[in-house]
Structures are given as structure tokens and as C-alpha cells.
């Protein structure tokens, strides 16, 4: 590009993109350049008015303005140099528009290399020089045309070819003699298309756009054509001249990028984006054509994780590919199957006759997937769980259909897997109710609708209250008191239990601090920790921070975890419990007697006590088996130096039994229901 420095203007509102462009330019060894960067449309126009740059690089997106608008304004204000537009990955359809507006080239960010940018700049400058030479120095036209890497073809007024440069000869496969004085339409794949182009040139004096041309061999290819009227020195039309570039590679690259954006790389099936777009169109069509019926299948492969973990990811991938092929075999020509990721597949059955048709296809899929897969010497057996939603009048969004199909699919898994089930209106209304509950719960956190109730824990040694268990309640503005059994599982599922649980700990500690300052120095408060909270690696740090904020004596604080939570991962559980005890927190094992822990496991758990579950306490005075188990739990716990609390105590007979067998503490309706803090003053 010469020994002189190339003056380049980059207009981009993103500093990171400027740095990337600068670094790419620095890799071009054959180019010496001065790069000037402007980040705003206004400043770019100001410096362009001085017309001091050899070439410009405009980002297509410039805040409220676009690079296309800047290009048009620059040309209008008299800028003569070439302009290259830089586009984003998603801007597939602007190439024609920017070239029509006068851009020399367009490049896609993320695909720009130093060699590509150098070639684009070089080509842009060459094309600009060619155009200037044709207008200002006709004597140099032949040399420039012959040396151009772009195809340059000229005709006379009768549209017979008069110029056919070496680049054109190389691409088309014709020699200059082959086509000289032949009609130019022989280079076009479609004669009618040429007629339309010629008509536009005659009317508008210019044509810019993508056209399909035909080589001597008959092969067709895509090219970009810039054609205009040729005039003699008197200004009379004498023919046309066209500059073309073969864009076959760019076309294929763009098509491949578009394909990749909507297809799964492993199975080559449509992906989530493709499916959701297709489903949305189907919903719209069905809304206008009430007779159309479609079904959506949400399919999950049973035991896939076990297969993947035991046989390896290579076998797992091959299994997914084979499953994809079998699913396609089971569908009709107008149905589609997509992979959503992992072992999840989604199917759309369009224009189905009735429910029986849907069930028949589901049964066909289940049967086909149960057949063994032979993969690299391994015989693999699997099955699938399928949730089905038939389009109904209460669906407007693809997301809602997928949500309900997912819900019913998990219901199939819970009921034994390897089957299908259909989502009905009852399920739909339940799902809507859950969604409403989730929305209300978000508001409840903000609006302070959650309250803490406290249930006394009484020592059987002296009948004094020694502590309180903190129990969350939700005072819904419309529904009144909402049961924890209704909202706690949803809070677990959505992750809101993290923020709710932190609030409960802080609120309970703050209240106990009030009691402490009122003279109840040995009164403790206990808080239940959910399984999800317990899995949080920062649980100890969180509790320590809350203790510091409330100024609470940690010796008066108990955490309760359920027996089933402790048994999920014994090694991890022991580690976390030791961390909590190291900062002075006492631990109670809740719901003991309902899980699957063994006495051997219990001796390794660093807990201070256990709570006998109310389901066992309920029968201790009337059922000998329950009494025997309760007595054994108390003796076992005392043997391991752990305290025992019996939950759900409601009768004098239960108290008598527990007292006679040295149970340490009790709680239940016999003493008090859970109450707000202000109602407990009398009891204290």
C-alpha cells in the first residue's frame, strides 16, 4: 500500500472495539498508518469535514445513530475516500444496504483478522482508485481495469460486451475473445433478472446489489454488482460499466453462521432458538385457524447421567446422536424435533387429527427408545419420560407451553419414568396458581409480609421455658395466613429461600437480643435451615456476619437441620457442622426418626441434640412400638451425650411418658401454639 503512512479514521463508540481494531492493524506488517479514533457521530462529522483521511472504518451501531447514516452524511458533505462498515454478528441483512449507500466493504466483528482487514483496506483503496481513474483519467483505465482483482465488465449502448478484464476471465472461465460483442445477459443465471437490472440502470443510472451469475461451465455463483451508465465526453450514454465481486465464500459463511445459530452442534437438530421461533409462528397460525391442532412433547432421557458418568462422555454423545435419529424416524414430515441441551429434546407435532394421534406417536417413541443402542461395543439401554401439551385457548406464549410440558414430564419421572402424560386444564390452573404465588412471594419480601412466630421449648426438669423455635409465617394481604407447607417448597425451588432464610435468622437473633437485654440471659432461639441453605458454601460466613450485626450471644443460638439433609452428603455435612460449632453455634438434628440415618452415622455427626419427630411423639402414649422406638432414641442420644427434644407434645400422657424416660425438653400445643413475640411476654 506504499511507503507513506495511511491515514485511517475509526468511528466506534466502544473503546474495547477501538483497542481490538488498533491491535489488529498493528499486526499488518505491510501497512504504516496513523489511526484516528472518534467515539461519537458528531465528532466524526467534524473531522471528516476536513477530508484528511485515506480510509474510514465506521461501526454500524453508534448509539442513536448508525454507521450507515454517518456514511451517507460523509459522502454528502464531500468526503472522497473509501468507507468500510464494521457490523456485529447479528447484522446479517445490512450488507446490501451499506454497499448501496456507497460503502466499499463490510466486515463482521469477531471474524476480522489482520489479513482480512489488510485485504479489505487494500481492495477498498484499489476500487476507489479504479473509480476515480475511470472518471478523471481515461488514459489509465485499461491498466487499472486489467490489474483489478474485481471483475470489470463494460458494454456498449446495445448491451454488447466491450470490456472483460482478467479478473472476470478468471472467474467466469471465458476468454475476452469468447464474450467480446456478445450480449451481456449470457453472464447472468436468469435472463429475466438481467432485464430487471438493465431497466433499473436505465431509469436510475445505477444498480447496486447481489446477483446470481453463470460461469462458462454452467455453474452459478453469487456476486455483488455495482453498475452504472458510461458517458462520453459530451455526456451522452454510450453503455454501462459494472464492477463485480464473487461473494460465494462470504455467502456460504453467512449461511453457515445463520445455520449454526439455530442448530445444535452435536445432533444437528434445530436448537432452542429455532424451536421457540417455530412454535411462536405455529401459535399465531393456530390463533387465526382455529381448526389447527398441535402438540408439544418435552422429552427427557431416563438414567442418562448414569450412562454418561459410567461409560464416558463420548458414549453419551453418541447415544444422544442415535436418540436424535430415532426421534426423527418416529415423526411425520411436518413435525420437528429440537435438542434443548443435555438430554432434553422437544417435539412439535403440527396439524394433528386428535388426541389419539398424539398418544400413538408418544407410544411409538417410547417403544423405539427402549430398543438397545449398540455404541462402540457397548449395548446401552435407556428410556424416556415425556410431558405432552395439546394447544388450547389459554396459551399465547411458547414459554408457557414449554413450562407446562416440563411440569408434566417431571410428574412422569416421579411416577416411575418411561412413560408419557398429558397436561390438562387442572394442571394448568395449578401452574398459574404457583406462578402467582411466586410473584406474590417476591412482593412479600419487599413488603415485609413475612412474620416470625415462636413456639416455646420447655425443660422437663423444672417446667421452665428454655428457648423458642422460630417459625416463619406469611400474612398474605388477600389470602390471609399462608401455610409454610405451601410456600417453603416453592421458595426452595426458586432460590428465594436463601434471602428468606437469611431474614429469618437475622429477625430471630434480633428478637432474642431483646429478650436477653430484658433479663432472660439463658433463653435460646433456634432456626430451621433448609437443605438449599445448608448447601450454601458461605453459610458459616453469613451467620457470623448476622451475629456480628445483631450483637447476639452465639451461645444462645441453635441451628436445626433435618435428618434427611444431614444424610445427603455425610462428609460435607460433618465439615460444615464443625465450622458452625467452631464459631459457637449449637446444632439440633430435626425430625429424627423419619429419615434413614443409622446410629453409627449419628455418632459421627457433631450435633448437640436431636428432636424426636411429632409423627413418633403422637403415638408414644398409645402405641407400644412407638413407645419402644422413642425410649431407644432417648437412651441412644443420652449415651452419645446429646440432648433430646420431643416435638408435637399435646397430652398429659405424652408428658408423663417423656418425663419418666428422662427426655430433656418438649415443645407442642400442650404448652403453647407458635405465637408472635409480643404475645409471649405472659408465658415468660
Model pLDDT for residues 212-260, shown as the tens digit of each residue: 999 999 999 999 999 999 888 788 888 999 999 888 888 888 778 888 8
CB atoms within 10 A of CB 62: 21
Residue with the larger pLDDT of the pair 309 and 459: 459
pLDDT of 2 reads 53
What sign has the CA pseudo-torsion 258, 263, 269, 272? Answer: negative
Residue with the larger pLDDT of the pair 462 and 234: 462
pLDDT of 467 reads 94
Span of 179-193, 517-531, 549-563 with lowest mean pLDDT: 549-563
How far is residue 564's CA from residue 567's CA, in Å, rounded to a whole number? 5
pLDDT of 250 reads 83
Using one digit for the tens of pLDDT, what is the confidence trace for 44-74? Answer: 888 888 768 889 898 888 888 888 898 888 8
Binned at pLDDT 50, 70 and 90, residue 504 comes out as: very high
Query: For residue 567, what are the contacts with CB-CB under 8 A and spacing of at least 6?
Result: 573, 595, 596, 597, 601
> Does 601 have pLDDT greater than 80?
no
How far is residue 472's CA from residue 481's CA, in Å, rounded to a whole number? 11
3-state helix, strand, coil in the chain (%, to 5): 45, 25, 30
Domain with CATH 3.30.70.270 in the chain: 263-423
Measure CA of the first residue to CA of the last residue in the chain; give whole Å: 92
Residue with the larger pLDDT of the pair 601 and 354: 354
pLDDT of 381 reads 92
CB atoms within 10 A of CB 130: 19
> Does 483 have pLDDT greater than 80?
yes
pTM: 0.49
Using one digit for the tens of pLDDT, what is the confidence trace for 395-407? Answer: 788 998 998 899 8
Contact call for residues 384 and 366 (beta carbons, < 8 A)? yes
pLDDT of 369 reads 93
- Domain at 6-115+128-133: CATH code: 3.40.50.2300
- Domain at 263-423: CATH code: 3.30.70.270
How far is residue 629's CA from residue 330's CA, in Å, rounded to a whole number? 55
DSSP 161-230: EEEE-HHHHHHH---HHHHTTSBGGGGBS-HHHHHHHHHHHHHHSEEEEEEEEE-TTS-EEEEEEEEEEE
Side-chain-side CA neighbours of residue 248 (13 Å)? 9
> Does 598 have pLDDT greater than 60?
no
3-class DSSP state of 532: helix
pLDDT of 4 reads 72
Residue with the larger pLDDT of the pair 33 and 568: 33
pLDDT of 404 reads 87
Domain with CATH 3.20.20.450 in the chain: 439-679
- Domain at 137-253: CATH code: 3.30.450.20
3-class DSSP state of 424: coil
pLDDT of 136 reads 60
pLDDT of 643 reads 94
Element containing residue 336 per DSSP (H, E)? strand 336-341
Contact call for residues 494 and 442 (beta carbons, < 8 A)? no
Contact call for residues 238 and 138 (beta carbons, < 8 A)? no
The total number of residues written for the chain in this structure: 684
pLDDT of 31 reads 72
Using one digit for the tens of pLDDT, what is the confidence trace for 359-403? Answer: 999 999 999 999 999 998 889 999 999 999 987 556 788 998 998
Using one digit for the tens of pLDDT, what is the confidence trace for 33-46? Answer: 888 998 888 888 88
Query: For residue 170, what are the contacts with CB-CB under 8 A and spacing of at least 6?
Result: none
Using one digit for the tens of pLDDT, what is the confidence trace for 110-169? Answer: 888 888 888 888 888 888 877 776 556 555 566 677 778 889 999 999 999 999 999 999
How far is residue 1's CA from residue 612's CA, in Å, rounded to a whole number? 86
CATH topology of domain 439-679: TIM Barrel (3.20.20)
How far is residue 475's CA from residue 220's CA, in Å, rounded to a whole number? 72
pLDDT of 531 reads 85
pLDDT of 124 reads 85
pLDDT of 642 reads 92
pLDDT of 142 reads 66
How far is residue 510's CA from residue 516's CA, in Å, rounded to a whole number? 10
Using one digit for the tens of pLDDT, what is the confidence trace for 252-290? Answer: 887 788 888 888 889 999 999 999 999 999 998 888 888
Strands 344-349 vs 295-302: parallel, antiparallel or unpaired: antiparallel
Q: Where are the beta strands (DSSP E) in 24-173?
A: 33-38, 55-59, 61-62, 65-66, 83-87, 105-108, 151-156, 161-164
Using one digit for the tens of pLDDT, what is the confidence trace for 331-352? Answer: 988 899 999 988 999 999 998 8
Domain with CATH 3.40.50.2300 in the chain: 6-115+128-133
611, 636, 639 from 633: Cα distances, Å: 10, 5, 10
pLDDT of 594 reads 63
Residue with the larger pLDDT of the pair 490 and 645: 645
CA gyration radius, the chain: 38
> Does 668 have pLDDT greater than 70?
yes
pLDDT of 538 reads 86
How far is residue 372's CA from residue 381's CA, in Å, rounded to a whole number? 5
pLDDT of 400 reads 87
Average pLDDT estimate for 82-94:
76
Count of H-run helices and E-run strands, the chain: 26, 29
Contact call for residues 319 and 303 (beta carbons, < 8 A)? no
Element containing residue 237 per DSSP (H, E)? strand 237-246
Query: For residue 510, what are the contacts with CB-CB under 8 A and spacing of at least 6?
Result: 550, 552
3-class DSSP state of 346: strand
pLDDT of 664 reads 96
Percentage of the chain modeled with pLDDT above 90: 39
CB atoms within 10 A of CB 484: 14
Binned at pLDDT 50, 70 and 90, residue 104 comes out as: confident
pLDDT of 600 reads 65
3-class DSSP state of 151: strand
CB atoms within 10 A of CB 268: 12
Angle formed by the axes of helices 497-517 and 539-550, nearest 10°:
30
pLDDT of 292 reads 85
Amino acid at each position: 500500500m506504499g511507503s507513506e503512512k495511511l491515514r485511517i479514521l475509526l468511528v466506534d463508540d466502544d473503546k474495547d472495539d477501538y483497542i481490538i481494531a488498533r491491535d489488529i492493524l498493528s499486526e499488518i506488517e505491510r501497512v504504516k498508518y496513523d489511526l484516528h479514533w472518534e467515539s461519537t457521530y458528531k465528532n466524526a462529522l467534524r473531522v471528516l469535514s476536513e477530508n484528511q483521511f485515506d480510509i474510514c472504518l465506521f461501526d454500524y451501531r453508534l448509539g442513536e445513530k448508525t454507521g450507515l447514516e454517518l456514511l451517507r452524511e460523509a459522502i454528502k458533505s464531500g468526503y472522497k475516500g473509501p468507507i468500510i462498515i464494521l457490523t456485529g454478528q447479528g447484522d446479517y441483512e445490512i450488507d446490501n444496504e451499506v454497499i448501496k449507500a456507497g460503502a466499499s466493504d463490510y466486515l463482521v466483528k469477531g471474524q476480522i483478522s489482520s489479513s482480512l482487514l489488510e485485504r479489505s483496506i487494500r481492495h477498498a483503496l484499489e476500487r476507489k482508485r479504479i473509480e476515480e481513474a475511470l472518471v478523471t483519467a481515461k488514459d489509465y483505465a485499461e491498466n487499472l481495469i486489467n490489474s483489478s482483482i474485481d471483475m470489470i465488465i463494460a458494454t456498449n449502448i446495445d448491451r454488447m460486451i466491450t470490456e472483460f478484464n482478467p479478473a472476470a476471465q478468471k472467474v467466469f472461465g471465458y476468454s475476452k475473445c469468447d464474450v467480446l460483442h456478445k450480449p451481456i445477459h449470457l453472464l447472468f443465471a436468469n435472463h429475466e433478472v438481467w432485464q430487471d437490472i438493465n431497466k433499473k440502470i436505465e431509469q436510475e443510472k445505477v444498480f447496486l446489489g447481489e446477483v446470481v451469475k453463470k460461469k462458462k461451465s454452467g455453474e452459478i455463483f453469487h456476486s455483488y454488482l455495482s453498475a452504472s451508465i458510461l458517458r462520453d465526453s459530451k455526456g451522452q450514454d454510450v453503455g454501462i460499466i459494472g464492477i463485480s465481486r464473487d461473494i460465494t465464500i462470504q455467502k456460504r459463511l453467512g449461511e453457515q453462521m445463520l445455520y449454526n445459530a439455530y442448530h445444535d452442534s452435536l445432533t444437528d437438530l434445530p436448537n432452542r432458538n429455532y424451536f421457540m421461533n417455530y412454535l411462536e409462528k405455529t401459535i399465531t397460525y393456530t390463533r387465526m385457524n382455529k381448526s389447527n391442532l398441535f402438540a408439544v412433547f418435552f422429552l427427557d432421557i431416563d438414567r442418562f447421567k448414569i450412562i454418561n458418568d459410567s461409560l464416558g462422555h463420548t458414549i453419551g454423545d453418541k447415544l444422544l446422536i442415535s436418540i436424535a435419529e430415532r426421534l426423527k424416524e418416529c415423526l411425520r414430515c411436518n413435525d420437528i424435533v429440537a435438542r434443548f441441551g443435555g438430554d432434553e429434546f422437544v417435539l412439535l407435532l403440527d396439524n394433528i387429527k386428535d388426541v389419539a394421534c398424539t398418544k400413538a406417536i408418544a407410544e411409538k417413541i417410547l417403544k423405539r427408545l427402549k430398543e438397545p443402542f449398540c455404541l462402540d461395543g457397548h449395548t446401552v439401554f435407556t428410556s424416556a419420560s415425556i410431558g405432552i401439551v395439546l394447544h388450547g385457548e389459554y396459551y399465547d406464549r411458547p414459554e408457557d407451553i414449554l413450562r407446562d410440558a416440563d411440569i408434566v414430564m417431571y410428574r412422569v419421572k416421579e411416577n416411575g419414568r418411561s412413560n408419557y402424560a398429558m397436561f390438562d386444564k387442572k394442571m394448568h390452573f395449578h401452574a398459574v396458581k404457583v406462578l402467582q404465588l411466586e410473584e406474590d412471594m417476591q412482593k412479600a419480601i419487599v413488603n415485609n409480609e413475612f412474620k416470625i412466630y415462636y413456639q416455646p421449648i420447655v425443660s422437663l426438669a423444672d417446667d421452665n421455658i428454655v428457648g423458642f423455635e422460630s417459625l416463619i409465617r406469611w400474612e398474605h394481604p388477600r389470602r390471609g395466613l399462608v401455610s409454610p407447607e405451601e410456600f417453603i417448597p416453592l421458595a426452595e425451588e426458586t432460590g428465594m429461600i436463601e434471602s428468606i432464610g437469611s431474614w429469618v435468622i437475622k429477625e430471630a437473633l434480633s428478637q432474642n437480643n431483646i429478650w436477653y437485654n430484658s433479663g432472660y440471659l439463658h433463653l435460646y432461639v433456634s432456626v430451621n435451615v433448609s437443605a438449599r441453605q445448608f448447601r450454601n458454601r458461605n453459610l458459616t460466613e453469613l451467620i457470623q456476619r448476622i451475629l456480628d450485626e445483631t450483637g447476639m450471644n452465639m451461645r444462645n443460638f441453635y441451628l436445626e437441620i433435618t435428618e434427611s439433609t444431614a444424610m445427603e452428603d455425610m462428609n460435607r455435612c460433618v465439615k460444615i457442622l464443625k465450622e458452625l460449632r467452631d464459631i459457637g453455634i449449637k446444632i439440633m438434628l430435626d425430625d429424627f426418626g423419619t429419615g434413614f440415618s443409622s446410629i453409627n452415622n449419628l455418632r459421627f455427626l457433631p450435633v448437640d441434640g436431636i428432636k424426636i419427630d411429632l409423627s413418633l411423639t403422637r403415638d408414644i402414649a398409645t402405641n407400644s412400638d412407638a413407645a419402644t422406638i422413642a425410649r431407644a432414641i432417648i437412651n441412644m442420644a443420652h449415651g452419645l451425650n446429646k440432648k433430646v427434644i420431643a416435638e408435637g407434645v399435646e397430652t398429659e400422657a405424652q408428658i408423663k411418658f417423656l418425663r419418666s424416660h428422662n427426655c430433656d425438653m418438649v415443645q407442642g400445643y400442650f404448652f403453647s401454639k407458635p405465637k408472635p413475640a409480643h404475645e409471649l411476654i405472659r408465658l415468660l
